[in-house]
Structure 1
Amino acid sequence: MIFKRIFCFYIITLIVTGFTVKVYAQNKSSNYYSNGMVVCAYPDAANVGLEVLKKGGNAVDAAVAVQFALAVTHPQAGNIGGGGFMVYRSSKGAVNSLDFREKAPETASENMYQDAKGNIIAGLSLATHRASGIPGSVDGMVTAHKKYGKLKWAQLVQPAVDLALRGFKITKQLASDLNRAAEEFRKRNPVENYLLKDGGWQDGDILVQEDLGKTLELIRDKGRAGFYEGKIAELVAAEMKIGNGLITKNDLGNYHSVWRKPITGTYKDFKIITMPPPSSGGIALLQLLHAVEKYPLFRWGFNRDSTVQLLVEAERRVYADRSKYLGDPDFYKVPVDSLLNPQYIESRMKNFDWAAATPSNSIQPGSFVGYESSQTTHYSIVDKYGNAVAITTTLNDSFGSKIFVAGAGFLLNNEMDDFSSKPGVPNMYGLIGGEANSIQPGKRMLSSMTPTIIEKDGKLFMIVGTPGGSTIITSVFQTILNVIEFNMDMQNAVAARRFHHQWLPDVVETEARALNDDTRSKLQHKGYKITGSGSIGRVDAILKTPQGYQGGADPRGDDTAMGW
């Protein structure tokens, strides 16, 4: 294995195909590997996945091991108390997708976050036991392994058990995140608490999680039953009683992941394989790619005024559609074919004016014949056989609800906020939703997660995805364009600075130095409201090249690429 970590914390400027590309400080490797690769949010978890590949495991085996390792090493988003999505492509080109998104408990109701006057009760869908949907991550890993796994289950969970019980060395960023969340941990966990340290955490400290390790041992030994039945189910139910939450042992026992047909489409000579609803990401990504396909992005240049304007106007319209038409397909008939119809997408761009920004209040969800009204983490893996996996999982907010299951040592999600608590009222990410995403018992909440696999000439080309709430879709979209249109290698495509627009609020969010002064001035003159943002997304991706697999590990976090 070749693995380098070169630490240099400064902005560098690269000249790529004749125009300037601004990227984050490069602290990642850009080596090529022939036998497989893992790119994920934490170095210890990446190493766990790589060791599985070296022992003959396939991409799904490595994904299972990485998922549980991230539950230990990346508590901000790695989890056994949340859920997510998987897109899979076999070495022979067969594709599949697994929905292990959280579900609303059976006693959930459409107005459960509203007071008697119909007003949203602040914080109820985010910072309480009632914010949690039924977790799907453990069932998802069991289901994926049962269908595609090669190595024994216990062998894949054991590394996470070891990391929890023996401890691991934390990074500066994890120490900072833990210290920042400490006050809320104390406030929301009066019975039993975890992830706290007197005097605060520091870079290099060893984090041991005994109760989480014991929970993982039950999952190792009993599989699905180790989490959804017995001791852990009882602990979850007891925790819910403490905080007037809704999840019951019956809810846990009845939870099951669902295999779904992936959304597929094309962009020029590339085939896009991505996640269907209840993720909004796949449909939105294909809409965006088709909306910009005919324009000469390469000639205009990376993050230049015409490029940014076109992408923003496409994003504006796609997020408007998202607000009305997307939800759980088991409860709501999502008009997939209509949304992805090329004529429909082109019609949505007809009122786009190069001379001025289109105000979002003048853009509404589109219409078509036949419609019936009614902190996340990502990892990409490829094995020596050529099987590929893109998985995005989440707790929603960083550390989820910041509420632990006492005695079990893991965090509960606050995914219920991803439902439309009230049609037209934004969630924590500012996203607007409607009846399609209303709360119903047993329903999966809408997501922006966009795990994606791309083919070229019938062969694997790219694996990509990211965390980032509402910015997930645009981060994946821009990363793909960075490679296909702007000829960046995988690492620079991931590191390049990003911008985001989501219809409402009507602002263009930009990372620092994402736009040069000239571009910013031209866009503002046309009426675009531009505001600064922190980091947008944390993309982890793999590119297949003639030289081998090339990883892109986002320098915005502790993300790491390892291969062999």
Structure 2
Amino acid sequence: MNKKKSSNSLKAIILAVLFLTSCVGGQVGRNNSEEYRNGMVVSAHPSASKVGIDILKKGGNAIDAAVAVQFALAVVYPSAGNLGGGGFMVYRSADGEIASLDFREKAPGKASRDMYLDEAGNPITVKSLYGHLAAGVPGSVDGMVKAHAKYGKLSWAEVIQPSVDLARRGFPVTERQTRDFVEEQEDFKKYNPGKSYYIKDKWVPGELWVQDDLANTLELIRDKGREGFYEGPVADLIVAEMQSGAGIISKEDLKNYQAVWREPITGNYKDYKVITVPPPSSGGIALLQLLNSVEPFPLRRWGYNSDSTVQVMVEAERRVYADRASHLGDPDFYKVPQKYLILPVYSKFRMSNFNWDKATPSTDIKAGEVPMESEETTHFSIVDKAGNAVSVTTTINGSYGSKVFVKGAGFLLNNEMDDFSVKPGSPNMYGLLGGEANSVQPNKRMLSAMTPTILEKNGELFMVVGTPGGSTIITSVFQTILNVIEFDKSMQAAVSAKRFHHQWFPDDIAMERKALDSMTVVRLTQKGYKFRDRGPIGRVDAILKTKWGYYEGGADPRGDDTTLGW
């Protein structure tokens, strides 16, 4: 008996040592069935992830796969995947070249500052949220054309064809999608008289869904590139749709739209370099501000979601969202004080007035003085065999955008005009406040919270990350990064972890159920913090390059998100 106990103890010790040595740095032990070294795609839908990984296996690079996934999502994930929306891309090549592409929508040329106000100057919320007038000029197609022209390897037709096939031949709808379609039936009928898209008496999970009009549109884009969307039959259909519903997007707006390459924002968090998106997204600046704000504090020692960790993160978020409301907008129209906002000393000053003993009322927090997206966005992360990495967040804003389909073309239009400050000081659909920097102007890009991001460690690729979630995008990316770097979570565990969020106003901490333990909530409540339970926060899709050189994916369990690698 003694020998048996001794043998069992020895086995237990050996197993414990093996486990600990396999989890250095918080990365799970290597599993031979999951050592993906040749590439990885993480997206919101299994069919889109498969399209991306097939492109990589075919010899395409990360940009080829990104373009293919973007168009595939327009077919299989219409609540956020799109032709009629826009987004942002952050790219890092295997040799360290970095780039950022802004394909955010623009206000039409006929837009005006007070177009969503009544005679008394009050916001008419429904006008910026639903129907034809809510739509900005789409940027997704031009963005993908520009990305492919600069970095693509396969032919344009090769990367578009998979989305054509998905639309023409059909794909099985998921259970989650059938629920969405049923819930949206009333709005689809209301805003689409005379159209039958997505409208039917019953949806069955797994049924084959064919979209012929959308397939025709994709074939024109495949054959004619940019002109297949912004000119010719599709442009005619968009303008006809505008005219049918008192919209204001014109042929000139479509023809003149151009995505823009912008210099990425870079900064550091401890030993990590952060490469992220610049304005007109607020996400990159806000993310660096948040990381700068918490870096001086010993989060690792305090522990994951301890009361001290949560308090510091919330106070940082409170101040950063106040800055967002006043200082951020389209850099082509407003001089954004970017270099000052992302200075570590600026964040240190902003955090200097918070009190450990009690919550700082948001009414006491104003924007710092500096020299002078329901949350249906979607994100995908891709790394190819050579190590090129792409982080893309794309959106039509609300779930199914403006609810308006382009008749004959088969795709939805965005409702991004609500992302402007319709009236400075009035909240948008996500409760975010804004000022003059983000007021409505013709041909201006609306402010965004999208935060596609890539991290390096010691000059090597470390993480590709991003998420949908409207105003919660920034804090979800922030928490996911900290979960890995500070709290030693695997990529999947970091993505799956429950989240909380503060955005200055409303002055409360929104949290997923059981995101924080009861004692943490009690301690912070005693200091004056207010809590509000809410549904899922974000759908993070991320990739981590482990210390062993293989890729570890994190696909958010809050959706149908899927990791595929090879």
Same fold (TM over 0.5): yes
1:404-443 map, 5 Å: 404-443=405-444
**Residue 6 of structure 1 corresponds to which residue in structure 2?**
none
CA distance in 2, matches of 1:297, 1:139: 42
CA distance in 1, matches of 2:547, 2:37: 10
**Residue 353 of structure 1 corresponds to which residue in structure 2?**
355
CA distance in 2, matches of 1:254, 1:337: 30
CA distance in 2, matches of 1:45, 1:222: 23
**Residue 459 of structure 2 corresponds to which residue in structure 1?**
458
- For the residue of structure 1 that corresponds to 2:100, the secondary structure is strand
**Residue 76 of structure 2 corresponds to which residue in structure 1?**
73
Deviates more, 1:119-128 or 1:377-386: 119-128
Q: CA-to-partner distance for each residue in 1:3-53, whole Å, 9 max, x for gaps?
A: xxxxxxxxxxxxx99xxxxxxxxxxx9933000000000000000000000
Amino acid at match of 1:301: G
Q: CA-to-partner distance for each residue in 1:348-388, whole Å, 9 max, x for gaps?
A: 001111110000000000103x32xxx11000000001100
Q: CA-to-partner distance for each residue in 1:67-89, whole Å, 9 max, x for gaps?
A: 00000000010000000000000
1:395-410 map, 5 Å: 395-410=396-411
1:517 aligns with 2:536: no
Amino acid at match of 1:425: S
- For the residue of structure 2 that corresponds to 1:454, the secondary structure is strand
CA distance in 2, matches of 1:403, 1:190: 10
**Residue 186 of structure 1 corresponds to which residue in structure 2?**
189
Please list every run of at least 4 consecutive aligned residues from structure 1 whose deviation after the TM superposition is greater than 6 angstroms: none
* Number of residue equivalences: 533
CA distance in 2, matches of 1:31, 1:500: 32
Question: When the two structures are superposed, what TM-score results if normalisation uses the length of structure 1?
Answer: 0.93
1:485-496 map, 5 Å: 485-496=486-497
**Residue 337 of structure 1 corresponds to which residue in structure 2?**
339
Question: When the two structures are superposed, what TM-score results if normalisation uses the length of structure 2?
Answer: 0.93
Unpaired runs of at least 5, structure 2: 1-18, 21-31
1:74-93 map, 5 Å: 74-93=77-96
**Residue 29 of structure 2 corresponds to which residue in structure 1?**
none
2:303 equivalent among 290, 298, 301: 301
Q: Of the two, which has the highest radius of gyration?
A: 2
Indicate if the aligned counterparts of 1:215 and 1:408 stay in contact, CA closer than 8 A: yes
Q: CA-to-partner distance for each residue in 1:79-132, whole Å, 9 max, x for gaps?
A: 000000000000000100000000000000000000111111130000120100
Aligned CA RMSD, in angstroms, stands at 1.2
Q: CA-to-partner distance for each residue in 1:125-176, whole Å, 9 max, x for gaps?
A: 0012010000000000000000000000011111101110111001111111
Q: CA-to-partner distance for each residue in 1:329-359, whole Å, 9 max, x for gaps?
A: 0000000011112221111001111110000
**Residue 316 of structure 1 corresponds to which residue in structure 2?**
318
**Residue 128 of structure 1 corresponds to which residue in structure 2?**
131
1:149 aligns with 2:183: no
**Residue 165 of structure 1 corresponds to which residue in structure 2?**
168
CA distance in 1, matches of 2:138, 2:409: 14
- For the residue of structure 2 that corresponds to 1:345, the secondary structure is helix
- For the residue of structure 1 that corresponds to 2:129, the secondary structure is coil
CA distance in 1, matches of 2:240, 2:131: 15
Q: Which has the higher helix share?
A: 2
Indicate if the aligned counterparts of 1:38 and 1:379 stay in contact, CA closer than 8 A: yes
Indicate if the aligned counterparts of 1:132 and 1:416 stay in contact, CA closer than 8 A: yes
**Residue 110 of structure 1 corresponds to which residue in structure 2?**
113
1:232 aligns with 2:234: yes
1:269 equivalent among 271, 283, 286: 271
**Residue 551 of structure 2 corresponds to which residue in structure 1?**
549
**Residue 23 of structure 1 corresponds to which residue in structure 2?**
none
1:197 aligns with 2:203: no
Amino acid at match of 1:107: K
Unpaired runs of at least 5, structure 1: 1-15, 18-28
Indicate if the aligned counterparts of 1:193 and 1:406 stay in contact, CA closer than 8 A: no
CA distance in 2, matches of 1:543, 1:193: 42
Amino acid at match of 2:299: L
**Residue 383 of structure 1 corresponds to which residue in structure 2?**
384
Indicate if the aligned counterparts of 1:30 and 1:550 stay in contact, CA closer than 8 A: no
